[in-house]
Amino acid sequence: MEKGNKKLALLVGCNYPNTRNELHGCIYDVLAMREVLVNRFRFDPNQIELLTDAPGSSVMPTGANIKGALDKMVSKAEDGDVLFFHYSGHGTRIPSRQPGRPFRQDEAIVPCDFNLITCGGLIDKEKEQIGPSSIIQESQKLCSSKPKTIPFQSILEHLSSLTSINTSDIGTHLLEYFGADASIRFRLAPHQESELFEFLKPDEGILLSGCQSNETSADMSPIEGGGKAYGAFSNAVQIVLKEHSDPLSNREVVMMARKILQEQHVEQHPCLYCSDENADACFLLQPETES
């Protein structure tokens, strides 16, 4: 493969089996995504890493393993490469540590070991192309759903049980239990955290989010027919790609996924954050169909 023409992917699926936070569709999501990456977007299977908490997984999607896999993917990248990170699992919102923002909440993903990975930085610098919508549909659903989020208080209670420390500061628990494997955001003083993200430049990436910041993504389980569970947004993207074989822009993928979720009466609104140029760029740089 020519220099600067690689396609690298990390796909993470957390179902949290045998816990009160158990989901059912996240591992299916990443397996379906791997198939479409290989068959449609011509990713080399050897350049796709899967981390799931399926029984028997040799490498679990812990916070340290997810960050390690991301570091490895980035270290192999060259100018012109495509890097794709897909996460299906719970998210949460935690109090911001940045000075002057006492009521702001930061978003984080919840690895299988609860070693939170904060998501700040990317969308703070990127332009909102498709964002909040106030349209709410109320109708009969064909699937039961579970929100893919764990409340902050539940996260705090779980970590407190591990550390036996009586504090509401989430960073204290993460540093005590995970040490150097905790996210860098919790290992820095608040003023250092602000300085860290000042160095990020615009146009550093493209973010397709399954829902708005005031919503939660849904883990769907068919009520009848014994079908497979799935993530609502991941499934909507899969439907869009199956119905449209020609290349689609990032904007088109998100807008079409929104329409599908609306038709399914799922109350979440996918969003797109990126530059104007990347909004209209081809999703995952799909190769043109050979005639």
Q: Please give the positions annotated as active site.
A: 90, 119
> Cβ(149)–Cβ(208) under 8 Å?
no
Query: What is the radius of gyration, based on Cα positions, of the chain?
Result: 19
Rounded Cα gap, residues 71 and 69, in angstroms: 5
Rounded Cα gap, residues 66 and 51, in angstroms: 8
Rounded Cα gap, residues 230 and 276, in angstroms: 31
**Residue 190: alpha-carbon gap to chain centroid:** 25
Beta bridge partners of 271: 209
Residue 286 DSSP one-character state? P
Q: Which two tokens stand for residue 5?
A: 């023409």
> Cβ(150)–Cβ(92) under 8 Å?
yes
**Type of residue numbered 211:** C
On the 0-12 / 13-18 / 19+ scale of CB atoms within 10 A, 193 is buried
Q: Which two tokens stand for residue 2?
A: 């020519």
Q: Which two tokens stand for residue 212?
A: 């708005």
CA angle 63, 64, 69 (to 5 degrees): 100
Whole-angstrom CA distances from 232 to 36, 41, 69, 148, 189 are 17, 22, 25, 10, 37
**Residue 152: alpha-carbon gap to chain centroid:** 18
